Amino acid sequence: MHNLKAISALFDMRADFVHAQAYGSGHINDTYCAWYDQSGIRLRYIHQRINHNVFKKPIELMENVDRVTRHALAALLAADHPEARRRTLTCIPSTHGKPYAIDPEGNVWRTYPFIERARGYDEIENNAQAYQAARAFGSFQNLAATLGGERLHETIPDFHHTPKRLAALEAAISANTAGRAASVAAEIDFARARSADCSRITDLIANGTIPERVTHNDTKLNNVLLDDVTAEGVCVIDLDTTMPGSALYDFGDMIRTAAPSTREDDPELKNIGVRFDRFEALVQGYLSTATFLNTAERNHLAFSGKLLTLECGIRFLTDYLNGDIYFKIKRPEHNIDRCRNQFAFVRSIEDSMSQLEDIVAKQDSQLLS
């Protein structure tokens, strides 16, 4: 645990630090929830250390986050939204007036007001949550489309370039750093057998059929906070990978995390399958706000769920082979359990692709009529 009182002093908090504890279940950053006393009232803030092993240029990353969150706030204020500051992350400035602070060890930190009366879910509970989460991510893409100025920094180059993710897997197999390759031969075969799928979206982007957009790129269910009472998606969080991408990356990752019948790391493979009702709610919610999609994008919505799940499984497998250096793990087999879970979900999508395509077509035609 870092010294959060010392971190707090790097920011212009205007409140007295009380105490802090590790918070959330993100796989990347170190997140803390800190209580403050502001003139007699208790308030919470989030302090986050950006994982600079994953994000090599954290200051560029914070330039993106600052631009995107200012743009969101300006839009909410222009629309006279009564709770504008609950609907977007806002960066608390450092004592040097920056949207981040650097500690004596060189770690880059940021601070956000805690979004109250809402939370993120690691495992979905009902269709309303799927609908609302997808609606919120679609609205976020709409908002991002109106961000003016220069192209955002690519905080992780080729983040969703699935063929390069497969190449990284091949490199990990060859290096076999952790000596685990022989034990995961079946998973390696599974990934290799789907190499043609890996390049389907990147090819369509390269030939201009699918446009580049500003996208979130990490739309897992727990990266949108849903209102405790109404389930409405109040705030999209985890903006580290908001950068140029494809709308399909965002939709695919929603399917990956909100359409399965169980959580991402459930080792019991018989629990894993596609929930058609959740899938339908996601399509409905997303199409209600993502009104800008072209025909090629709409035609690949179901496929995107398969691709993003396959890609994520490949990444977990790669990390397992590399000795668990990227994703946070809670047990030695965590990454391979996650990989097997993702691949089981890929298989389940493959088995039901025509039903999923039918659901998309039905929602799409209802919207057009």
Per the rule left: phi > 0, alpha: psi between -120 and 50, beta: everything else, 275 is: beta
For ligand GN1, the closer of residues 231 and 236 by Cβ is 236
Quote the CA–CA distance of 158 and 111 in Å, as a whole number.
27
223 touches ligand GN1 by CB under 6 A: yes
Q: Please state, in angstroms and rounded to a whole number, the distance separating the CA atoms of residues 171 and 197.
A: 19
Determine if 219 is a binding residue for ligand GN1 (CB under 6 A): no
248 binds ligand GN1 (CB under 6 A): no
Q: Is 28 in the site for ligand ADP (CB under 6 A)?
A: yes
Quote the least distance from Cβ 309 to ligand GN1, whole Å.
10
Check binding of 233 to ligand ADP (CB under 6 A).
no
Is 306 among the residues that bind ligand GN1 (CB under 6 A)? Answer: no
Within residues 104-123, the interface with ligand ADP by CB under 6 A covers 112, 114-115, 120
Among 26, 252, 260, 285, the residue binding ligand ADP under the rule CB under 6 A is 26
Among 8, 17, 20, 26, binds Mg ion (CB under 5 A): 26
- CB-nearest residue to ligand GN1: 27
- The correct pick among 30, 63, 66, 238 for binding ligand GN1 (CB under 6 A) is 238
Position 89 contacts ligand ADP (CB under 6 A)? yes
The entry of ligand ADP, ligand GN1, Mg ion, none near residue 120 (CB within 5 to 8 angstroms by kind) is: ligand ADP
Contact residues toward ligand GN1 (CB under 6 A) are 26-28, 54, 218, 220, 223, 238, 240-241, 264, 312
Contact residues toward Mg ion (CB under 5 A) are 26, 223, 238
Contact residues toward ligand ADP (CB under 6 A) are 23-24, 26-29, 31, 46, 89, 112, 114-115, 120, 222-223, 237-238, 240
